[in-house]
Chains A and B, each alone.
Chain A
């Protein structure tokens, strides 16, 4: 981290002999403290029998995964995937709507966005669940998934709308003016010039939003949706090993989310390093002779 001669920003000097000794001392104390805490937790859990081998063994059997964990993880991924696709569509519509020249469209889109950003997702899911049940909008087996997806799509759609709006606003004015000067209409300018640039620039934020959506599927737990956390608890009660089950589910969710976060960082770096060349393919398209 702090090799001499590098230009890494630090709030401290390259440590001298005394600071080095102090750093090592603090590090050792820190590791000892962590080890003590770990020992205390594990001995307390061992006393309760949660660390016994038979509590963990089910996790290497196919029954555990096929009956409990995989359906849950699949449910989580499915709901998140459906929701994010809908949220992106909704987000683009609302984000563009908020920039519309028509005042009615602008204000109504603004109201929708503000409303769904202010309401807790769980409240929205509980409401949708009951609404769909009362008016029999979905078959009873699909009620939970429909409510989870609707809730996620509406609340994430509102967030993505703000991302899209900020993205379009960040594009230099000249881009839109040039498009108008070339004779493109408002809709064409938006579709062909502004949106592609806004969405590429906002891709990292949109991928990061995917992590949020994925984590939020766990709220479906409270409206009986078959997702990872619910299935973890079910498995925990079936094998009476709550702690191991929760730990395994946590590890799976963290792994998926860290992977997605990495993806967001990757996009961000690629965009930052290749902002200009990204325009190249468009030029090539023009020179290809059409027969």
Chain B
């Protein structure tokens, strides 16, 4: 119990950061992933090639490497720090935002893969019907195809969100104060390894297991019956 008294506030703050990283990256990857999917099914050759190339390259890169690229490449070499350099918390802000960017860029490829599979489950007649109603490609995608595709891939998106939650621990590599970084610190400063392990294990189980259950429920609720 001593350990909880001593580290309670820090634990709360660390898991809050983990949660923030997850939420913001989930939003970013959903937006980017949807865009990538639209590009991949579009009639324009260049867009298709670009999106497919991006997905194949980033999906096969280790996440640690993506995060390091954001830190070394964007921040140190290109000077894109995503934070006001004059603010007192600029280094922390910068690491946090770069981590969100890296997670979004990485997770978007998985969202795109899932969503493209979802597009394939929508019968071709649906988009043919959309065209015969006079809808253009983008309109057909927005009003007819994507809504059905999203409903088909709720469960896979849930798995991606769970993977993202777990992946946010990689942010510790550039010093973002989330759960894994605090765990390292607590292991060094206390001798209660097992207790620390149990605390963090339980913390992540509280985040991931309900997510899986919720998405399972949603996927059944919104299933498109054909």
Which residues of chain B are within 8 angstroms of A9 by Cβ–Cβ distance?
120, 124
Q: How distant is the Cα of A15 from the Cα of B204 in the complex, in angstroms? A: 50
Q: Does A120 lie within 8 Å of B169, measured CB to CB?
A: yes
Residues of A within 8 A of B193 (CB): 127, 130-131, 134
Of B62, B119, B168, most buried by chain A (CB within 10 Å of CB) is B62
Set of chain B residues within 8 Å of A250, measured between Cβ atoms: 61, 65, 69
Residue total for A at the interface (Cβ-Cβ under 8 A): 58
Q: Does the CB pair B173–A221 fall under 8 Å?
A: yes
Is chain B's interface secondary structure helix, strand, loop, or mixed overall? helix
Residues of A within 8 Å of B79, CB to CB, are: 44
Closest residue of chain A to B203, judged by CB?
A: A123
**CB-based contact B73/A243 at 8 Å:** yes
Instruction: Give the chain B neighbours of A44 by CB distance below 8 A.
Output: 77-79
A189 contacts across to B, CB distance below 8 A: none
Q: Give every chain A residue within 8 A of B56 (Cβ-Cβ).
A: 258
Cα–Cα distance between A287 and B31 once the two chains are bound (Å): 60
Question: Do A123 and B41 contact each other (CB < 8 Å), given the known contacts A31-B46, A229-B68, A253-B60?
Answer: no
Check B200 for interface membership: any CB of A closer than 8 A. Answer: yes
Given A120-B180, A123-B180, A221-B173, A243-B77 contact (CB < 8 Å): yes
> In this assembly, does B220 line the interface, its C-beta being within 8 Å of a C-beta of chain A?
no
- Given the complex of chains A and B, what is the CA–CA distance between A122 and B77 in angstroms? 28
Are A50 and B65 in contact, CB atoms less than 8 angstroms apart? Answer: no
Within 8 A of A (CB), among B182-225: 183-184, 187, 193, 196-197, 200-201, 204-205, 208-209
Between-chain CB contacts (< 8 Å), 28 pairs: A1-B48, A11-B137, A11-B145, A13-B131, A26-B46, A26-B47, A27-B44, A27-B47, A30-B44, A44-B77, A44-B78, A48-B77, A118-B201, A118-B204, A123-B169, A123-B197, A123-B200, A127-B200, A131-B197, A218-B63, A218-B64, A222-B173, A229-B65, A243-B73, A246-B68, A250-B65, A253-B65, A258-B60
The 9 A-B pairs with the shortest beta carbon distances in the complex, nearest first, are A218-B62, A27-B46, A257-B60, A120-B166, A218-B64, A30-B46, A122-B169, A215-B62, A120-B169
